[in-house]
């Protein structure tokens, strides 16, 4: 058997081989510490732990924010689609004011003298006032959002002194500010007039308010307009309490009216107690019959006097009793 000796190619001397410290065949090869890959421990969140509950809250909050953003974005888009006038319709409004040429848009048309809304809710929006030097009158009825948008565009675009209004052209959805102002005296001045007109755009109310003197109360005219337009007036807490108390007082008065009790004694033919201001007093059927006979024969003025005596003190009832007996005899 031939033996081979490994020699160095440069020196020709035999190569000294170091014996391996580990056996590679067994698979247990020694590696340096920095060459070892440490496995990460898998961590699981237990639903029962505090950490998981906090994690869940964060997820739910993020989800709620996403939903809110989506909702707001869709609402803005819907409002822009519903409320914004088309450029074509704006050109029709401009043509109605600046020229006398006919033009037709998506929902508006003009012949130069009138501005008409077409399709559903068709109506006349505005008319040129003859021989007025360019003035026109808005006669639209606020029957929908599109009509309100048309009138708003007219307000923003054209000079105020050239635009006149007829009828009711605006009613605010939220009347809370106006109703709060009306809880106390609302003096007529520029600021309060603006508040009223912003909430109730009514031609008749506006004319009546402008006839007031400075610092005069505006509330009677505003209340009158609210009743005419079917706007519910907000009652104050004090007014509600007063109404309830007065109603309760009337009911108790009717229930405790001793003249009714006296008549019931005649019908039942049995004595009953009457509640007087200074205590109770029993009345028999004979006395009650005598008082009732006199009461039925006297005029309304004397009936009122008899009721006052019957609902007064014990001494007053005794006077009534003597009077009745005198007339019956």
Give me the pLDDT at residue 16, please.
Answer: 73
Of 214, 163, 225, give the one whose Cα is nearest residue 190.
214
Give me the pLDDT at residue 250, please.
Answer: 43
DSSP 51-96: HHHHHHHHHHHHHHHHHHHHHHHHHHHHHHHHHSPPHHHHHHHHHH
Domain-terminating residue out of 146, 166, 186: 166
Mean pLDDT of all residues in 125-149: 78
Residue 305 inside a domain? The answer is yes
> The domain containing residue 96 runs over which residues?
87-166
In the chain, the percentage of residues whose pLDDT exceeds 70 is 76
Residue 235 inside a domain? The answer is no
178 and 211 housed in the same domain: yes
Number of domains making up the chain: 3
Residue 236 inside a domain? The answer is no
User: pTM to 2 decimals?
Assistant: 0.34
**Is the separation of the CB atoms in 97 and 128 below 8 Å?**
no
3-state class (DSSP) for residue 136: strand
Tell me the per-residue pLDDT of 218-259, one tens digit each, with 9 for 90 and over.
999 988 888 877 776 655 556 666 556 554 444 444 446 888
113 and 128 housed in the same domain: yes
Mean pLDDT of all residues in 32-40: 59
Give me the pLDDT at residue 254, please.
Answer: 42
Tell me the per-residue pLDDT of 87-103, one tens digit each, with 9 for 90 and over.
899 889 888 888 878 89
Sign of the C-alpha dihedral, residues 278, 283, 287, 292? Answer: positive
Residue 237 inside a domain? The answer is no
144 and 175 housed in the same domain: no
Residue 259 inside a domain? The answer is yes
151 and 183 housed in the same domain: no
146 and 207 housed in the same domain: no
Burial (CB < 10 A; 0-12, 13-18, 19+), residue 303, is middle
Domain-terminating residue out of 166, 183, 205: 166
45 or 10, which is more confident: 10
The C-alpha atoms of residue 209 and residue 196 are separated, in whole angstroms, by 9
Residue 162 inside a domain? The answer is yes
Residue 9 inside a domain? The answer is no
Q: DSSP assignment, residue 226?
A: H
**Is the separation of the CB atoms in 196 and 180 below 8 Å?**
no
Q: With 80 as the cut, is the pLDDT of residue 31 above it? A: no
Domain-terminating residue out of 144, 166, 188: 166
Residues sharing a CB contact under 8 Å with residue 318, sequence separation 6 or more, in sequence order: none
Residue 218 inside a domain? The answer is yes
100 and 146 housed in the same domain: yes
Give me the pLDDT at residue 61, please.
Answer: 92
């Amino acid at each position: 058997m031939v033996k081979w000796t490994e020699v160095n190619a440069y020196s020709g001397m035999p190569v000294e081989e170091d014996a391996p410290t580990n056996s590679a065949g067994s698979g247990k090869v020694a590696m340096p510490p920095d060459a070892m890959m440490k496995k990460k421990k898998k961590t699981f969140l237990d639903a029962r732990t505090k950490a998981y509950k906090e994690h869940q809250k964060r997820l739910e909050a993020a989800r709620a924010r996403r939903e809110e953003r989506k909702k707001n974005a869709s609402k803005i888009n819907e409002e822009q689609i519903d409320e914004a006038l088309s450029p074509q319709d704006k050109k029709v409004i401009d043509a109605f004011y600046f020229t006398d040429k006919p033009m037709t848009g998506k929902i508006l048309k003009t012949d130069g003298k009138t501005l008409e809304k077409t399709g559903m809710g068709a109506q006349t929006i505005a008319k040129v006032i003859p021989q007025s030097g360019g003035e026109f009158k808005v006669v639209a009825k606020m029957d929908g959002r599109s009509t309100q948008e048309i009138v708003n565009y007219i307000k923003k675009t054209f000079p105020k002194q050239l635009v006149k209004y007829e009828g009711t052209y605006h009613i605010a959805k939220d009347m809370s500010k106006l109703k709060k102002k009306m809880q106390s005296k609302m003096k007529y001045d520029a600021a309060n007039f603006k508040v009223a007109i912003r909430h109730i755009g009514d031609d008749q109310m506006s004319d009546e308010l402008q006839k007031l003197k400075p610092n005069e109360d505006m509330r009677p005219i505003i209340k009158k307009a609210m009743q005419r337009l079917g706007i519910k007036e907000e009652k104050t807490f004090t007014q509600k309490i007063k109404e309830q108390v007065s109603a309760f007082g009337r009911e108790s008065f009717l229930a405790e009216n001793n003249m009714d009790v006296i008549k019931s004694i005649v019908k039942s033919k049995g004595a009953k107690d009457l509640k007087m201001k200074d205590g109770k007093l029993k009345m028999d059927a004979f006395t009650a019959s005598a008082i009732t006979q006199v009461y039925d024969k006297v005029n309304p003025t004397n009936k009122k006097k008899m009721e006052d005596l019957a609902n007064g003190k014990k001494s007053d009832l005794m006077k009534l009793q003597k009077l009745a007996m005198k007339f019956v005899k």
